Structure 1
């Protein structure tokens, strides 16, 4: 991989590893609809001009049904669920649970008839990864906030299904126009709820900084860097950074928010990461031989 590729890879590892931290800060000052609206509206405002300049928006019309489904499963539903869950869960726990997306993607691809035959290694990866999820979620399910755990796992499931839609139904749609359109649609969907729950007083500087970071860095800039990374190293290599994001989420939560670094977090991190690597060996979930999908998102916040 070239030096430029490594730089882009490192940027993506950080950019999509810190949203959990920023969401945790932002939900303490604004409602979930306002948070998601700010992310999507600003992201759309940045990416739409780029999409219009590059062309390709016209090709979206004949794909509007899968495009709406993709937007719902990649942005509209999961960003609400994750933000609501982080009102009660630590950012590091949320980041680790989302790391189960590749494992869920393997299962979904297999059940939908589009996945490769699972080898013994991949079956072992599924088991190891799910064991990691169980280690992490068990305390919350038995004596904490089980609904928040369910919300994050539903988010991970959405992130697992959305790329399959992109690969199977939107593979001939340019990624930048598709992303800009999805963010615009999400912003429109959240506008009424955001207006209804708009804060009466100006949020703190920390909250405003978190919102700005989510919108400008973790949404708009992230997609630009992601597309550049795909062009530089290809889709398969580009997606490897998703295995680094959980570590960034844990380090950020512990170092900047003082979240606990417990033995269960360390064990679950090793199990989920190891399981994800094993479960996805031998091909991307749902990817058929000869396919070269260019997904707009891959299970990131």
Structure 2
């Protein structure tokens, strides 16, 4: 899961070099829908969507349309590695959303503060003074909040929907919503094979397969633990960005990531419950 969601930032950066962000987002969700709808139909799981139309439409908007657009447009202004690092704050946001059900301990509040400081370090030192960079970082953080909301929503409203049907439904909703806008954003010039290949990989691996795995993970481990895959996402994103796109690796990048990871670990760590020692009743035998 972490690898599948660590590579899209590189692929997005490659694709938007020659394709518009709207085309990239529409293309990846349309490819995913074209693959998943026949699979769900063959499995006979599409009928389960009849009683879950509201959750499917809601997830299509808050887990796909909104975040995908924000991330893709955000990457026009910031690096792919910084994008992956900012999204790592997701477990902290999930912990905040789960406060009523899972109250934070003292260390959890410390973790929350550390995570936010890590974001401040990344934004303040990496894009300080760059208005477009700040805009891009803001888009990524808003997308991360939508991801956190969707992660919690899946467990509460759609945990009983088969993952294949759920992803087929949400990607279909996203495709329908984006189609009118994508019609006005088609490429007007030649597009290299590398950009098309990046788009296909985004649709197949980073959307279809990744969402299938993530929804199944939420059902088995819960939203808090499922969100922890973002611990490793940034590592993949940074390594690929530095190695392939020659993006800079600054001290602020390492420091911000360390603070965010520490904050995520503390804010999602559950206190260890020590079972009481059994009380053994002894009776003294009569002499």
2:51 pairs with one of 49, 62, 65: 62
> C-alpha distance in 1, partners of 2:141/2:218?
27
RMSD: 2.0
Aligned to 1:85: 74
Q: Note if contact 1:92-1:249 (Cα within 8 Å) is conserved in structure 2.
A: yes
> C-alpha distance in 2, partners of 1:200/1:56?
39
Report how far residue 152 of structure 1 moved: 0.5
Aligned to 2:255: 267
Q: Does residue 34 of the first structure (1) align with residue 23 of the second (2)? A: yes
Larger Rg: 2
Aligned to 2:186: 198
Aligned to 1:108: 97
| Matched position secondary structure for 1:196 | coil
Structure 2 unpaired stretches of 5+: 272-287
Q: Does residue 164 of the first structure (1) align with residue 140 of the second (2)? A: no
In the TM superposition, 1:71-150 aligns within 5 A as 71-110=60-99, 113=100, 115-139=101-125, 140-144=127-131, 145-150=133-138
> C-alpha distance in 2, partners of 1:229/1:71?
18
Aligned to 1:291: none
Report how far residue 66 of structure 1 moved: 2.3
Aligned to 1:186: 174
Report how far residue 230 of structure 1 moved: 7.7
1:153 pairs with one of 122, 141, 147: 141
- For residues 98-127 of structure 1, what are the alpha-carbon distances to aligned partners after superposition, in whole Å with 9 as ceiling and x for unaligned? 1111111111222xx3x3111011111101
Q: Does residue 47 of the first structure (1) align with residue 36 of the second (2)? A: yes
Report how far residue 62 of structure 1 moved: 2.1
Structure 1 unpaired stretches of 5+: 1-11, 284-301
- For residues 115-159 of structure 1, what are the alpha-carbon distances to aligned partners after superposition, in whole Å with 9 as ceiling and x for unaligned? 311101111110111110000011425434221111011000000
Give the total of aligned pairs.
267
> C-alpha distance in 2, partners of 1:208/1:169?
35
TM value normalised by structure 1? 0.83
> C-alpha distance in 2, partners of 1:229/1:68?
20
Q: Does residue 20 of the first structure (1) align with residue 14 of the second (2)? A: no
Deviation >4 Å, runs of 4+ = 224-231, 236-240
> C-alpha distance in 2, partners of 1:211/1:171?
29
Q: Note if contact 2:151-2:218 (Cα within 8 Å) is conserved in structure 1.
A: no
Report how far residue 29 of structure 1 moved: 1.0
> C-alpha distance in 2, partners of 1:20/1:203?
19
Q: Note if contact 2:163-2:216 (Cα within 8 Å) is conserved in structure 1.
A: no
